[in-house]
Structure 1
Amino acid sequence: MDDSLYDEFGNYIGPEIESDQDSDREEDDDRDEPEESDRAAESDGEGPSNGWLTTGASTDVDMLENQVVLAEDKKYYPTAEEVYGEDVETLVMDEDEQPLEQPIIKPVKNKKFEVGVKDSSTYVSSQFMLGLMSNPSLARNVALVGHLQHGKTVFMDMLVEQTHHMSTFDSQSEKHVRYTDTRVDEQERKISIKAVPMSLVLEDSNSKSYLCNIMDAPGHVNFSDEMTAALRLADGAVLVVDAGEGVMVNTERAIRHAIQERLPIVVVMNKVDRLITELKLPPKDAYHKLRHTLEVINNHISAASSVAGDVQVIDPVAGNVCFASGTAGWSFTLQSFAKLYGKLHGVPLEANKFASRLWGDYYYHPDTRTFKKKPPVGGGERSFVEFVLEPLYKIYSQVIGEHKKSVETTLAELGVTLSNAAYRLNVRPLLRLACSSVFGSASGFTDMLVQHIPSPRDAAVRKVDHIYTGPKDSSIYKAMTQCDSSGPLMVNITKLYPKSDCSVFDAFGRVYSGKIQTGQAVRVLGEGYSPDDEEDMTVKEVTKLWVYQARDRMPIAEALPGSWVLIEGPFCSIPCQW
C-alpha cells in the first residue's frame, strides 16, 4: 500500500477516483447509443423500430425477463385462435347476454312429427293395386266419420291388419297401433287430429277384389273441417256409431255434412261387445238398444234430407248396416252372417232371404222350421237374438270366464280349432283370435260398400254437379261426368300434407278427368281464379306422384280419373307453418 495516498488515520488523500454511479451512467449511455450495424439494420427496415423491443437475436434476454408488465396487459389465458385455430369463428358474449339454462352451442335435435313404420308390405302387389286404379268401376271412395272415441281408427286397424303383413294389436301391452294416427301428438293424446287416407284392396264375399280408398276423419267437434274435406273427396260416408253410447253430437253433424254433400250413408254399429262386457245387457235388451240407435239415425237423416228431397233409410235388412267390434277384430252384416251360417252348418239356403228374417219381429218356429211374426206357443226370442246375439254372448262369456273346455266345444261347433298355446293367452288376445277365426275377414263390410256406395264413374255426375261451378255445356264438364282419361286434366285439391321433415307441403286431391303424370306441367288455380281474371293462377311441374297410405307412400307414374293421388310440385314452394 502506498503510504503517500493515506494519512495517519487511514483516510484516502490521493487524487480523486471516478465513482461507481458515474461509471454506471457511462455504461447506460454506451448501451443507449446504437452501433453502426444496428443503425444500418434499422435503416434497412430490420431490427427494433419506434422504441419497441422485439424477440430478435440481438435482444437481451435478461432485459425481457425483468421488464415491467402492467396487470391489465398480462396474458393469463390463451387466445381463441391459439385454442381453436384461425379457421374457426369464435363468438365472445357477456355473461348476461344469454340465460343460464340456454346453452351457448345448442345440441343438434332431430324433430320428429310423424310416426314411421318398419314394414308396410301388403298381401297384393303394387301392380295389382295400380290395375284396380285404372278401372273406376272397381274402386270405392268413402270417408269414415263419426263421433269422438267411437272406434273409427281402431276399425281402420282391423282393415289394415287384414291387408298388410303386420299385426296392429300388441298382445303383451294390449294396445292398438292406431295406424292412421300418423302424428306423434295423435299417438300421445290418443285422438285423431288430421284426416288421413288409406288405399286398401279388400275382398267381398265372392272373393272379388276392390280398391277401397278410405279416409279416417277426426271425430272431435273442433276438427270438423277435416271431416268436411274428407267428405268432399268421397262418394259415400261410413258413419261409425258406438253401440253403447248411441248417437252423439258429432254423429248428427256428420249426418248433416254427408246430406249436404249429397252422399249416401252406410252405418257401422261399432263396439257391440260393450253391450256384453260393460253394460252387461241381456241379449233381448241389447237388440232393443241397437234398434233404437238405428231409429235415431233414421230420424236425423230424415230431418237433414227434408230440403234435399231424397230420404235414405238405414236398415240392416237392406244391407247398409254392419255390426262390428274393432277392438275384437270382427265385423259382419246380416247377409254375410247368413252366408257364414249356411257354410258352417252345411245347409243350402238363400242368404238374402235368411238375412231378411234376422231383423225385426221375426220368430223361428222349430216345429215347422219357418219364420213367423208371432212367437211360438212356448215363447221364444226374436231371430236376431236367437241366431246372432246368443252365440256371440256365448263366445264372450266362455272366453272371459276362462272355461277352456267350453270354449273348445263352442268353437268346434262353429268350425274353429285353436292351438293349446292360444288358450294360454290373455282374455283380450284370445277374444280377438277366436272372433276373427269365426267371422273371418271384413267381407261383409266390403259387400256393404260395393252395394250401397257408387263407384267414381257412377257418382261422377252427382259429384260434379255439386262442386263444379263452371258452364255445364263445356267439354270440361262432359269429360268430368264421364271420367274420361283422354279429356282435359281436372284435379280437385282439398288437403295439404307435410313431408316427414315438415319442410314443405304436398297436395292431395281427386282426379276427375284427364291423366296426371310425373314431369307434366299443370295450371294451379287458386280460390280467386276465374276465366275473366287469371291472376290467381300459376304453372308448376308435377315432380312426383304417390298413393297415400297413412304411414307409407307408394310412388306411381300416373293417376287416372276416380283415384286419390298425392302430388309433389304444385305446392312445393309453400313452407310448413307450425
Structure 2
Amino acid sequence: MPIVTTAQLVKLQARTDHIRNICILAHVDHGKTTLSDSLLASNGIISSKLAGKVRYLDSREDEQQRGITMEASGISLYFKILREAAEGGNYTKSDEYLINLIDAPGHVDFASEVSTASRLCDGALILVDVVEGVCTQTHTVLRQAWVEKVNPILVLNKVDRLVTELKLTPSEAYVHINKILEQVNAIMGTFYAGDVMEEETRKHDAEKERLTKKEGNENSDIESSSSETILEERDDSNIYFTPDSGNVVFASALDGWAFRVEQFAQIYAAKLGIKENILRKVLWGDYYLDPKTKRLLQYRHLKGRQLKPMFVHHIEKIEKIVKSLNLKILPRDKRSKDTRSLLISIFNQWLPLSTALPSPVAAQPVRLPRMLGALPTSHAEPKTGFEQDLYNCNYSDSSPVIAYVSKMCAVFSSQLPENRRKQWTAEELRERGRQKRGELLLASNNRQGISLTDTSSDSNNEYQKIPISEDSNVINENEESQPKETFIGFARLYSGTIRVGQKLYVLGPKYDPSFPDLHCSEVTIESLYLMMGRELESLQEVPAGNVFGVGGLEGHILKNGTLSSTKEFKSLAGVTTETSPIVRVALEPEDPSEINKLIEGLRLLNQADPCVEVLVQETGEHVILTAGEVHLEVSKKDFDLRERFAKIEIQVSPPIVPFRETIVSVQEQNKELSTQHGVVTVSTPNKYCVIKLRAVPLPSNVTSFLNQHVITIKSILDERQQRNKVESQITDDYEDSLKEVANKEERVLDNEEFLKNLESEFSKAVEKEIWKDVVDKWRKNSSESKNSDLPLQIENDKDLNKQSSSVLTIRDFEENIHTGFQLATKSGPLCAEPMMGVAYFLEDFKISIPEENIDVTEMRSKVGGQVITTMRDACRQSFLEWSPRLMLAMYSCDIQATTETLGRVYGVISRRRGRIISEEMKEGTPFFQICALLPVFESFGFADEIRKRTSGAASPQLIFNGFEMLDQDPFWVPTTEEELEDLGEKSDRENLAKKYMESVRIRKGMSTDKKIVEHAEKQRTLKKK
C-alpha cells in the first residue's frame, strides 16, 4: 500500500462533506487498538502483517508494557471508495475521504479519556467481542455515545473466534450473534425510553403550569392531548442496530477484514433475480429462500422444512466467493491446516474495513444543540447568525471561529515538528559533500604554503554553503532553552478557519456572555498540528469540521475550554464523565528541598490528565485523586509524575479511602426509648447558653432520595445565597454547581417539586413513632421558609424565639449554630469522616446573660465562638447516644470467568470481604458473568491477585458504587454471660469496623485504644550481637 502524504490529507481538510470524525469505543480487550492498526495498514503507515501487534497508537511505554490503552490518541487517514456507475456494473467513480480517527481506552479507570474523545467526534465504532458479548464498559460507551449524540456503528469483532474457538456451526453462530444484537438494542431502548419519559414529564409540568395561569382557556385540553400523541408516535427505528440498515459490521480486526450485509446483497442480487434494496433487508433475520420457486419465505411459511436462513446460506461458501470475485488464492493456502491463514488471504483481498458515518455538515445540527445547553430531546433551530454558522459548519472567513478544546496533551518538546532535525534530500547531501571536500582541499593547500586565492574564490562561487549545520546548532540551543514538556490542545473546530498567528479568546467552563470580563483571556495561536498518532505535522490553517492540535494555550486552559473569535458566544458545556476520582494518596519528595519540583509536577499532571484532581489538605499535604488503582499507579509512579513531570523520587502514602459515619435505628420494641434517644443538653463554658439537641437516624429511603438529588440541593441552596447579591459578584461555588448540573445526566428539580417529593419520602416513615413529629415540623418549616434567603432557617417555634433575660436572641447566633453543625457533620466522632443519614433537631436554645453585661456586640463576639464549639460537641455526643456504624466505599465488580476458574474467583472475592450479587452463564459460551460488591479498602491488589489465581483468564472491572453500611458496632465488646463465655473479655473475634476505624485514626494522628506496652511485667530478653 503506498504511503499517503501529508499534502493529500491537508487538501482534503477543506472538503467538509468528505470528512469523517470517528472514535473507537469498546470494553477492554475487545479489539480497539487492533482495529486501529488495520486501518493504519491501509494507509501504508505500518505493515498489514504487523496489524494488532505493533499497537501503533499506544505511544506510551507503559501502554506497551501493560497491553492496554491509557490515553486517547488521534490520527488522520486517507480513504478512497469506488462507487458503481449508474448505467453499468463497472466501478468507475471514486470518492476520497479524510478519516480523523481517535482510539479511546477501554479500561474503566480511564473513562474520562472516552469522554474527551466522544466530544470531538461525530461517529463512533462500538466494538463488541462476539464471544464475550456485551460487557460493563460496552454499556458505558453506548451511553456516552447517546449522551453526546454521536452516531454509532456496531462492529461485531472477532467473528473468527466463533469457528476457531467455540466450534459453532453457521446456524449456531447466527443465533449467537442475533442474541448479542438483541442485548445491544435493549440497552439503546432503555436510553430512548428514559429520554421520552423525561420529555413527557417536562411537557406535563409545563402544561400544568400553563393551565394554572390560564384556567379559562378551553383549548388547553386539546393541545395537551395532541402533544402527548405526538410524543407517543415519535419514530425510534433509527436508534437500533440492524444489519439491513447498514449500521452493523461483522469483522475480525486481527485478520484485517470486515463486511456488511449490503456487500453480499450486491453479489447475489443479479444471481437470485431480486432487487438489491429488497435483498439487503432480507439477508438478516428469519427469512428463507425456497430453492425450487426462488421465493422468499418467512418462518411461519416453512411448513416443517429444514431451510437455512438467508444469512447462513449465502455467506458460508468459500469456494463460490473465491470464484465469483476472481481472487488469487495460492494452492498452499488451500492445503494449509491453519484455517486462519486461508481466511486472511481471502478476506484481505475482498473486504476492506469501511463504514458510513455522517460528515460534520450533517452531524453538527444534531449534536450542537445538546452542547449549547438545549434539552436532550428537543430539536432546536438556530437562533442567531453564530448558531447558523455552527450548524452549517461554515468555514468562510466571515464566519466566527468556534473551537472546543477537550483536553491538553503533554508532548515532549523534541517531538514538535519545528524542533525536529530537518531531513536532508539527496541533492542536499551531495552538495554538503562537495562543500566539505572543498574545505579539506583548501586547508591542505594552506598547510603546504601554496597560494590558492583564485581557486578559493572559484570554489566559494561554485560551492555555496548550505546553512544546515548552523540551523542544527540553533535547534539544539532552542531545545536546551525550551521546557522538556509542551502542552498541545486536542481540539475540534466547529466554525470558521483557524490560522497561525490569529488572536482568539479563551472562554473557560464558567464563562458567561453577560459578564465578558470574567473567565476570559486572549491568546495568540502559536502553532497548529495535524495529529498523526505518535507524530505531529505542522499546519498553517485548519478549516471547520476537523480535529487538530493547537499550541500556545498553556497557562490559558487547564483541562478544557472554548476558543472563540468573539465574546458574544457562550462556552460549550463540559464533557460528561462516567467515573469520578475516589482513590487518593498523599505525596511528598524524598528530598524536602525538591518540594517545588513536586508542586510543578503536580501542576503539569493536573493539566495533562482530565480525571486527576490535585489538592492541598489543611495539614499541608499534597494529595492526588484518581479513578482507580491502575490509574493511580500510572499517575504517581510508573510514568507520569515520577519519570515525566516532576522527575524526582517521591514518597507515596498508602491509599486514602473515604468512609462515612452513620447511626442505626432502635429496635421496634423500644418505641418509648426511641422517642427520647439521642437527646443531649450541653452548655457553653461560660454557662451563658444552653443547647438541647436531638439526633435521629434518617430512613434509608430518605437518605437514598437525598443522595440521588445532591445537585438539586446544591442548586437550591446556591440560588438562595445568590438571590440578593450583586450579579457581578458571582461566586465560584455557584458556578461550579451550574457546571455540575450541566455535566450530570440528572433531571434537576425545582424547589417546590423537590420539597413535595421529599415530604412524600418522609411520609412513608410516619408509621414509626419516631418520625411522627418530624413530618409535621417539616411541613411547617417548608411552608414558612419558601421566601427565605438564608441557607439555614431557624424554626419559628415559641420555645426557640421567646425572649430571654438579655437582649440577645437565637437569631444573633444563627450563623454560629450553623457553623458548629457543619463542623460536626464534616468530621464525625468515630474517625473524623463525614456523617451520612443523620438528622439533627434543635430542641431548645436558652440564653441567660447577666444584666450587667449590656454590651451586645462584645457579648455576641465572646459567646459566638463558644456556641460553635458547643454545637459541634453536642452533635457528636448525640450521635454517640445511638449505635454508630461505618459506611464503606464500595466497588461494583464485574468479572468474566470460565468454568475452570470460577471457584478461584469466588475464593479471592470472599478473602477480600466481597459479596456476590449475581452469577449468570452466557448462553453459547463457556463464560460466567459474575457481579459482586467489593469494599474499596480491600480492592488494592485485587486485579493482580485475580489474574494470578486464574492464570490471566479473568480480569475484573471496578466501578464506584456508592457507600454501604457495615453492620457492626466499632465499640462492641462482649457483655452477656454467653458472649463472655464464648469470646472472652477481650473478644478473640476480630471487630472489622474497629479495625477500619483505628486505621483511619492512626493515619490522621488521632488517639486509639492500642497500648504500646501490653504486658510490662513480662521478662524481655535482648539478644546481644
Query: Equivalent residue for 2:393?
Result: 483
> How many residues were matched structurally?
430
Q: Is the 8 A contact 1:375 1:381 kept in 2?
A: no
Question: Matched residue of 1:457: which SS?
Answer: helix
Q: Tell me, in whole angstroms, the C-alpha distance in 2 between the residues paired with 1:201 and 1:324.
A: 20
Query: Equivalent residue for 1:510?
Result: 492
Give the alignment partner of residue 179 of structure 1, picking from 56, 73, 80.
Answer: 56
| Structure 1 residues 274-285: aligned runs within 5 Å | 274-285=161-172
Tell whether 2:469 aligns with 1:544: no
Tell whether 2:137 aligns with 1:137: no
Tell whether 2:39 aligns with 1:164: no
**Aligned amino acid, residue 360 of structure 1:** G
Q: Tell me, in whole angstroms, the C-alpha distance in 2 between the residues paired with 1:143 and 1:195.
A: 9
Q: Tell me, in whole angstroms, the C-alpha distance in 1 between the residues paired with 2:139 and 2:359.
A: 25
Tell whether 2:327 aligns with 1:416: yes
Q: Is the 8 A contact 2:20 2:358 kept in 1?
A: yes
**Aligned amino acid, residue 323 of structure 1:** F
Deviations 1:428-448 (A, max 9, x none): 872464133453322xx33xx
- Going from structure 1 to structure 2, the CA distance change for 1:572 and 1:337 (only over 3 Å counts) comes to farther
Give the alignment partner of residue 284 of structure 2, picking from 359, 365, 374.
Answer: 359
Query: Equivalent residue for 1:456?
Result: 360
Give the alignment partner of residue 241 of structure 2, picking from 314, 319, 337.
Answer: 314
Query: Equivalent residue for 2:928?
Result: none
- Give 1:473 deviation, angstroms: 4.1
- Give 1:260 deviation, angstroms: 1.4
Q: Tell me, in whole angstroms, the C-alpha distance in 2 between the residues paired with 1:183 and 1:219.
A: 16
- Going from structure 1 to structure 2, the CA distance change for 1:437 and 1:490 (only over 3 Å counts) comes to closer
Q: Equivalent pairs: percent with the same residue?
A: 30
Q: Tell me, in whole angstroms, the C-alpha distance in 1 between the residues paired with 2:312 and 2:382.
A: 52
- Going from structure 1 to structure 2, the CA distance change for 1:347 and 1:295 (only over 3 Å counts) comes to closer
Structure with the higher helix share, 1 or 2: 2
Query: Equivalent residue for 2:850?
Result: none
- Going from structure 1 to structure 2, the CA distance change for 1:424 and 1:185 (only over 3 Å counts) comes to farther
Q: Is the 8 A contact 2:130 2:177 kept in 1?
A: yes
Query: Equivalent residue for 1:521?
Result: 503
Query: Equivalent residue for 1:220?
Result: 107
Q: Tell me, in whole angstroms, the C-alpha distance in 2 between the residues paired with 1:428 and 1:154.
A: 20
Q: Is the 8 A contact 1:491 1:513 kept in 2?
A: yes
- Going from structure 1 to structure 2, the CA distance change for 1:387 and 1:572 (only over 3 Å counts) comes to farther
Q: Any gaps of 5 or more consecutive residues in structure 2?
A: 84-93, 197-234, 375-380, 414-483, 559-602, 606-639, 641-1025
- Give 1:153 deviation, angstroms: 1.1
**Aligned amino acid, residue 347 of structure 2:** S
- Give 1:360 deviation, angstroms: 0.8
- Give 1:185 deviation, angstroms: 1.1
Query: Equivalent residue for 1:76?
Result: none
Q: Tell me, in whole angstroms, the C-alpha distance in 2 between the residues paired with 1:428 and 1:175.
A: 19
Query: Equivalent residue for 1:381?
Result: 308
- Give 1:166 deviation, angstroms: 3.0
Q: Is the 8 A contact 2:37 2:46 kept in 1?
A: no
Give the alignment partner of residue 441 of structure 1, picking from 347, 352, 361.
Answer: 352
Q: Is the 8 A contact 1:142 1:237 kept in 2?
A: yes
**Aligned amino acid, residue 464 of structure 1:** L
Q: Is the 8 A contact 1:168 1:176 kept in 2?
A: no
Deviations 1:286-315 (A, max 9, x none): 101100100111110010122334731211
Deviations 1:215-241 (A, max 9, x none): 111111111111111111111222111
Q: Tell me, in whole angstroms, the C-alpha distance in 2 between the residues paired with 1:175 and 1:159.
A: 10
- Give 1:498 deviation, angstroms: 1.9
Q: Is the 8 A contact 2:104 2:113 kept in 1?
A: yes
**Aligned amino acid, residue 292 of structure 2:** D
| Structure 1 residues 337-352: aligned runs within 5 Å | 337-341=264-268, 350-352=275-277
Q: Is the 8 A contact 1:515 1:561 kept in 2?
A: yes
- Going from structure 1 to structure 2, the CA distance change for 1:295 and 1:346 (only over 3 Å counts) comes to closer
Tell whether 2:405 aligns with 1:493: yes
Question: Matched residue of 1:305: which SS?
Answer: helix
Give the alignment partner of residue 263 of structure 1, picking from 150, 155, 168.
Answer: 150
Q: Tell me, in whole angstroms, the C-alpha distance in 2 between the residues paired with 1:545 and 1:164.
A: 24
Q: Tell me, in whole angstroms, the C-alpha distance in 1 between the residues paired with 2:498 and 2:349.
A: 44
- Going from structure 1 to structure 2, the CA distance change for 1:347 and 1:363 (only over 3 Å counts) comes to closer
Deviations 1:506-552 (A, max 9, x none): 00111111211112222222223333153433322222211212123
Query: Equivalent residue for 1:562?
Result: 545
- Give 1:378 deviation, angstroms: 5.2
- Give 1:333 deviation, angstroms: 0.4
Q: Tell me, in whole angstroms, the C-alpha distance in 2 between the residues paired with 1:570 and 1:414.
A: 53
Structure 1, 246-255 or 308-317: larger mean CA deviation: 308-317
- Going from structure 1 to structure 2, the CA distance change for 1:315 and 1:431 (only over 3 Å counts) comes to same
Q: Any gaps of 5 or more consecutive residues in structure 1?
A: 1-120, 396-406
Q: Tell me, in whole angstroms, the C-alpha distance in 2 between the residues paired with 1:350 and 1:543.
A: 56
- Going from structure 1 to structure 2, the CA distance change for 1:340 and 1:506 (only over 3 Å counts) comes to farther
- Going from structure 1 to structure 2, the CA distance change for 1:522 and 1:533 (only over 3 Å counts) comes to closer
Query: Equivalent residue for 1:238?
Result: 125
Q: Is the 8 A contact 1:416 1:437 kept in 2?
A: no
Q: Tell me, in whole angstroms, the C-alpha distance in 2 between the residues paired with 1:141 and 1:236.
A: 6
- Going from structure 1 to structure 2, the CA distance change for 1:350 and 1:307 (only over 3 Å counts) comes to same
Q: Tell me, in whole angstroms, the C-alpha distance in 2 between the residues paired with 1:308 and 1:435.
A: 45
Q: Which has the higher contact order (CA 8 A, sep 6+)?
A: 1
Q: Is the 8 A contact 2:405 2:490 kept in 1?
A: yes
Query: Equivalent residue for 1:67?
Result: none
Q: Tell me, in whole angstroms, the C-alpha distance in 2 between the residues paired with 1:419 and 1:459.
A: 45
**Aligned amino acid, residue 252 of structure 2:** S
Query: Equivalent residue for 1:210?
Result: 97
Query: Equivalent residue for 2:479?
Result: none
Question: Matched residue of 2:193: which SS?
Answer: coil
Structure 1, 432-441 or 420-429: larger mean CA deviation: 420-429
Q: Tell me, in whole angstroms, the C-alpha distance in 1 between the residues paired with 2:43 and 2:182.
A: 33
Query: Equivalent residue for 1:287?
Result: 174
- Give 1:418 deviation, angstroms: 3.2
The alignment's C-alpha RMSD in Å is 2.9
- Going from structure 1 to structure 2, the CA distance change for 1:122 and 1:522 (only over 3 Å counts) comes to farther
Query: Equivalent residue for 1:272?
Result: 159
Deviations 1:399-439 (A, max 9, x none): xxxxxxxx8x9845652223467679894872464133453
